[in-house]
Structure 1
Amino acid sequence: MTNFILTEQRGSCRVITLNRPQVLNAWHAQMRADLALALEAAEQDASVGAIIMTGAGERAFGAGQDLNETKTFDPDRAELWIGEWERLYDRIRSLSKPLIMALNGLAAGSAFQVALLGDFRIGHDGVKMGQPEINSGIASTTGPWIMMEMIGLARTTDLTLSGRMMPASECAAIGLINRIVPKEEVLAASLSLGEELAVKPRLAMKLNKQRFREVTEARFRDALASGVRNQRIAYTDGEPNRMMERFLSTRSGKSSV
């Protein structure tokens, strides 16, 4: 595994850190694959009672997809891209151990989606979350699915079509952040919650999480199928490539959604 993902054992908690701070922890293919491996290792390790995910640096949990990767896609590569997300999301969704997101800044696009796949989210006043994919020409598919499960159609429509980012106060008000603490206490609060959850009966924890997966599975699979269809349409037209080039040129080298 590369150093795009860092892992550390802290008591009963496995801390997994997204580690591309120079691009606000934006994803690319290797980083996604490495994260899936790190989650699998935590799942199989009996010493791990809870998993905490956070981002390197002080500015971002994750800025979403690295557009320097996706701006080069054609329809075939776009379909493979959806498959990469399917494997990562399947790994997250099938975890038997509680997953806590320690939000240390921006969580945008697919990083917002991954944050919502966690069981708990702890953040600070400076956190911003949202689905700005439309601004870079990416049609949202898995994003609307997970948002619909969490916040309903009206708010999902708002965030998907406007691409706006929500402040921490709004995220907490609609239930997307469980707890807001001072910025310097986010990881400590996440570890404290992790230790509390790690001593819960493990079979009951596994069965509860398994049931959450079961009741959301059909719409998840529908989102993936629509993702393949819509990304092939979009990349055949070339609109995402054009919009990403324009977006990157106006962002002075900032390369993520």
Structure 2
Amino acid sequence: MTSEDLVVETEDELQIVKLNRPKVLNALREKTFTELATLFDKFASDPHRKGLIITGVGERAFSAGGDIREMMQMTSREAERFGRLAHRVLKKMESLQKPVLSAVNGLALGAGCDLAIACDLTVASERAIFGEPPPSIGILTPFGGTQRLSKIIGPKRAKYLFFTGETLDANTAYQIGLVNKVTKHEDLLEETKNLAHKIFTQAPIAVGFSKTLINSSMSKMLEEGDKLEVELYAKCFDTYDQKEGMKAFIEKRRPVFKGE
């Protein structure tokens, strides 16, 4: 199956989903999340598929983040609706009783980083770059990044990434526990498939239960934090800084923020 936003391939027990907007570095938009929701529902009920891999089309990006041109047109109410959609889709993915792996083939920024780390396991190409730059365009992430990132790498490191906009290379991401494995770029997909097949040798019900229990250990905190994250994300769209930040990004210039 191929659409504007996704390429879906099957290899025996494995399903591979490729984010398919390489001209815009696989930017995630509302349509992308809607298609992912449908795909996850079908995958959950497919007895022939034991696991899923998410990666990006092209050599440059897994996903460089949300679609800024789409977000520029949103009101705060529309932004809140978009944030809630994204949260529902990622929670749907986390609730799957089958493993979901991300194969990060390049840039994983903002929403792209959030999607990658929401997967059960993350394998990164040596060229992968991770970061949380939304404050540099006047917003925060509405995709669960503030919550998941702080749980995975700790609040101090998470704050540093959000506050400064600095990025992490693949090896640094591995050292701090953000990714599970780093591979040569050309071996990324094959190594991720090998990891999936290694998981398939385990008892699938026990693997699914393990996933549920590990996720449940932080689900209540995530639920409360996610709700606040979406609310504050939407509030950003009522600010001057959001409009200036996104306009400056499109115009390829440094934004002039006013704190209003």
Tell me the equivalent position of 2:258. Answer: none
Deviation at 1:201? 1.0
CA RMSD of aligned residues (A): 1.5
| 1:249 aligned partner, one-letter code | E
Tell me the equivalent position of 1:2. Answer: 3
TM-score, normalising length: structure 1: 0.93
1:102-113 correspondence runs (5 A)? 102-113=103-114
Q: Deviations over 1:58-79 (max 9, x none)?
A: 1111111010011111111111
Q: What is the distance in 1 between the residues matched to 2:133 and 2:227?
A: 21
Q: Does 2:186 match 1:164?
A: no
Structure 1 residues without counterparts, runs of 5 or longer: 252-257
SS in 1 for 2:238: helix
Q: What is the distance in 2 between the residues matched to 1:3 and 1:175?
A: 33
Tell me the equivalent position of 1:177. Answer: 179
SS in 2 for 1:64: coil
Tell me the equivalent position of 1:85. Answer: 86
Q: What is the distance in 1 between the residues matched to 2:58 and 2:233?
A: 32
SS in 2 for 1:175: coil
TM-score, normalising length: structure 2: 0.92
Deviation at 1:89? 1.2
Tell me the equivalent position of 1:197. Answer: 199
Tell me the equivalent position of 2:157. Answer: 155
Contact residue 18 and residue 25 of structure 1 kept, 8 A: yes
Contact residue 94 and residue 120 of structure 2 kept, 8 A: no
Tell me the equivalent position of 1:255. Answer: none
Structure 2 residues without counterparts, runs of 5 or longer: 254-260
User: Residues 19, 233 of structure 1: CA spacing in aligned structure 2 closer, same or farther, 3 A cutoff?
Assistant: same
SS in 2 for 1:207: helix
Contact residue 124 and residue 183 of structure 2 kept, 8 A: yes
Q: Deviations over 1:201-241 (max 9, x none)?
A: 11111111111221121122122221233133222224212
Structure 1 runs of 4+ aligned residues shifted over 6 Å read none
Deviation at 1:154? 0.8
Q: Deviations over 1:6-43 (max 9, x none)?
A: 11111221001110000010011101111121222222
| 1:14 aligned partner, one-letter code | Q
Q: Does 2:127 match 1:126?
A: yes
Q: What is the distance in 2 between the residues matched to 1:3 and 1:250?
A: 26
Q: Deviations over 1:103-131 (max 9, x none)?
A: 11110001101111112111222110011
Q: What is the distance in 2 between the residues matched to 1:50 and 1:137?
A: 37
| 2:125 aligned partner, one-letter code | H
Tell me the equivalent position of 1:207. Answer: 209
Contact residue 136 and residue 244 of structure 1 kept, 8 A: yes
Q: Does 2:31 match 1:30?
A: yes
Deviation at 1:3? 3.3
Tell me the equivalent position of 1:254. Answer: none
Q: Does 2:218 match 1:216?
A: yes
Q: What is the distance in 1 between the residues matched to 2:52 and 2:111?
A: 19
Contact residue 13 and residue 50 of structure 2 kept, 8 A: yes
Q: Deviations over 1:157-187 (max 9, x none)?
A: 1011111111111101111121111111000
Tell me the equivalent position of 2:50. Answer: 49
Tell me the equivalent position of 1:186. Answer: 188
Tell me the equivalent position of 2:257. Answer: none
SS in 2 for 1:6: strand
Identity of aligned residues (%): 25
| 1:29 aligned partner, one-letter code | E
Q: Does 2:232 match 1:235?
A: no
Q: What is the distance in 2 between the residues matched to 1:228 and 1:105?
A: 27
Q: Number of paired residues? A: 251
Q: Does 2:145 match 1:143?
A: yes
Using CA pairs below 8 Å that are at least 6 residues apart, which structure has the higher relative contact order?
1
Contact residue 49 and residue 199 of structure 1 kept, 8 A: no
Q: What is the distance in 1 between the residues matched to 2:152 and 2:206?
A: 23
Deviates more, 1:138-147 or 1:74-83: 138-147
Contact residue 140 and residue 160 of structure 1 kept, 8 A: no
Contact residue 103 and residue 125 of structure 2 kept, 8 A: no
